[in-house]
Structure 1
Amino acid sequence: MSRDAVLDHIFWHCLSGAHRQHTEGTDTARRYTTGFSPILAFADAARPDFAALAPWVTPGEHFYCDSWTDAAPPGWRIDAESTMFRMLWDGAASAADPAPDAVPLRAEHARQALQLAMLCKPGPFGIRTIELGEYYGYFDGARLMAMAGERLRAPGLCEISGVCTHPDYQGRGLAKQLIAKLLHLHARRGDRSFLHVMRDNPAHQLYLNLGFKDYLESTVRVVVAE
C-alpha cells in the first residue's frame, strides 16, 4: 500500500497497526484503551462498525471520530462536528537538534501534561497519551510551559501532536522550537512528519508558515456512547 493511501486512513492504520497494543476492538473497529487519547477508528470509515465496539465502551464515554458523515447509529449520539486539516511537512528539517534543552516527558510528567492539555485543548488527550511517542516540554521550575510530541504513526509517517503553550508563556516561540525538534527527529529516522489542526484554529496559518502544506480536510466528530 502506498504511503498516501495509508495517510488517507491514518487513524485506522495506526490503531490497528503500530498502536494496536494500546487499543481494544476488532478487525473492523478499534478504540484507544481508556487513559490514552479518546479516539475511535474503523476499517471502513464510510460504513463504521459501531456495533463491534459495544464490549469496549461505557455509556457516557466521549470519542473523536474522523471521516464519517452519516447519521449516528442506535446507542450513539453526535455531540460536536467540525472539519480539520491533515497537514504534511514539505520543508527541510534542521541538520542539528534545534532544541537540545527541551526536557523529555516521562511518566512522572503525565499529570502536568494532561493539565496543560486540558487548559489549551490541542485535541483528544489522556493521562497516558505521552506514552504514544516521544514528548518534549519546557519547564519554569515545576510548571510545564509548553509541550509537543508524537501520536499517530505508520511506516514512514509520524504525527506531531499535543502542541500547546500555557497562556502565561505564549509569544516566546517555545512550541515552534519543540516542533522543530520533532521535525529533526523524524528526518533522522526517515519519517515524514504530519499533523492535524482544526479549521478554525489560528495555528493553521502558523503551520503553513513553518513549511507544512494542507494534505486533506476531513470531517471530525465527537461522539458519545449512550
Structure 2
Amino acid sequence: MPRLPLLDTIFWSALTGPHAQYASGAGGARRYARGFSPILGFADPQQPDFAALAPFCDVGEHFYCDSWTGAAPDGWQIEAESTMFRMLWNAPAPSADAAPDAIALGPEHAAQALELATLCKPGPFGPRTIELGDYFGYFDGGKLVAMAGERAHVVGLREISGVCTHPDYQGRGYARKLMMKLVYLQMARGESPFLHVMRANDGAHQLYLRMGFGNYLESVVRVVSQTR
C-alpha cells in the first residue's frame, strides 16, 4: 500500500485537524477531551511530549497511545503494552447499504452505547464517543445489542470503531453488516475507511481481511497513566 502521512500519525492529525474541537493539550501533544475516547496523539510519536500533556491529565487517568517504544518519562508509567494492526480498505466500494434497517444512534443512546462497550471492550470508549461520527446499531425490545461507528478522521480518511455485539446476539452477522454500511457511506463521501485491531484478536483480523481491509501498518500500542 502507498504511504499516507496523515494515516501514519492519524490521532495527532485528527486531534489537530477535524477533531481539534474535541481536543486538549499543548505543544506537540494532544488528547481527546474528558468524556471522549482516552487516546493521545503526538507530533513525534518516537519522542512524545508528555511534559506538554501533563497539565491536561489527571493522576491515574489511563490513555492509549501508539507508535511509541521508548522508556516511560518521569511522572508517567506504562500500564500495558500490545501490538495492533492499522488496516485500510483495499477493495471496491460496496454496491449497496448492507444494513438499511440499522438505527442511527444519537445522544439519547449514549448510556446504552457505553454500557455495551464496557461489556464488549472494543477499545477506548467514553460516554461521548458516539459524538465523534456516525454510529448505527441494532436493538431488541429497546435494548442496544450491536453497534459500530466512526472515530478519528482527516480529509479523505475515516476510522470505523466501537464495533460491538452483545454476547447473547453474536453469530447473526450484525457487526459485519454495520461495518459494511459504514464502508458504503464513507466511500460514497469520497473517504477511505480504516480501522484498528489488536494482533492478538486473530479472529477479527482475519474477518477484516476477508471483508476487504488490508494491513497498512503494525504498531505498538500502550496504555499509560500519569503518576504525579
Alignment match, 2:57: 57
Q: TM-score, normalised by structure 2?
A: 0.97
Instruction: Name structure 2 gaps, 5 residues minimum.
Output: none
Q: Per-residue displacement from partner, 1:153-175 (whole Å, max 9, x unpaired)?
A: 01100000001100000000000
8 Å CA contact 1:66, 1:220 repeated in 2: yes
CA drift of 1:11 comes to 1.0
Distance 1:83 1:193, change over 3 A: same
> How far, CA to CA, are the matches of 2:17 and 2:123 in structure 1?
21
Alignment match, 2:127: 127
SS in 2 for 1:17: coil
Q: Per-residue displacement from partner, 1:176-213 (whole Å, max 9, x unpaired)?
A: 00001001001110000000000011200110111111
Mapped pair 1:68 → 2:68: yes
8 Å CA contact 1:3, 1:156 repeated in 2: no
CA drift of 1:141 comes to 1.2
> How far, CA to CA, are the matches of 1:54 and 1:172 in structure 2?
44
> How far, CA to CA, are the matches of 1:96 and 1:214 in structure 2?
24
Amino acid at match of 1:169: Y
Alignment match, 1:215: 216
Q: How do 1:11-160 and structure 2 match up within 5 A?
A: 11-160=11-160
Percent identity at matched positions? 66
Q: Per-residue displacement from partner, 1:24-76 (whole Å, max 9, x unpaired)?
A: 01131001000000011111111000000122111010000111010100110
Count, aligned residues? 225
SS in 2 for 1:150: strand
SS in 2 for 1:73: coil
> How far, CA to CA, are the matches of 1:219 and 1:54 in structure 2?
22
Instruction: Name structure 1 gaps, 5 residues minimum.
Output: none
8 Å CA contact 1:146, 1:166 repeated in 2: yes
Q: TM-score, normalised by structure 1?
A: 0.97
SS in 1 for 2:4: helix
> How far, CA to CA, are the matches of 1:184 and 1:215 in structure 2?
20
CA drift of 1:111 comes to 0.6
8 Å CA contact 1:22, 1:33 repeated in 2: yes
The farther-off stretch of 79-88 and 20-29 is 20-29
> How far, CA to CA, are the matches of 1:81 and 1:3 in structure 2?
25
Amino acid at match of 2:56: W
> How far, CA to CA, are the matches of 1:87 and 1:104 in structure 2?
25
Q: Per-residue displacement from partner, 1:118-174 (whole Å, max 9, x unpaired)?
A: 111110000000000000000001211100000010110000000110000000000
> How far, CA to CA, are the matches of 1:87 and 1:114 in structure 2?
24
> How far, CA to CA, are the matches of 1:3 and 1:124 in structure 2?
26
Amino acid at match of 2:216: Y
> How far, CA to CA, are the matches of 1:192 and 1:32 in structure 2?
22
Amino acid at match of 2:155: P
CA drift of 1:3 comes to 6.9
> How far, CA to CA, are the matches of 1:117 and 1:3 in structure 2?
31
SS in 2 for 1:223: strand
Amino acid at match of 1:225: Q
> How far, CA to CA, are the matches of 2:215 and 2:3 in structure 1?
16
Alignment match, 2:205: 204
8 Å CA contact 1:93, 1:180 repeated in 2: no
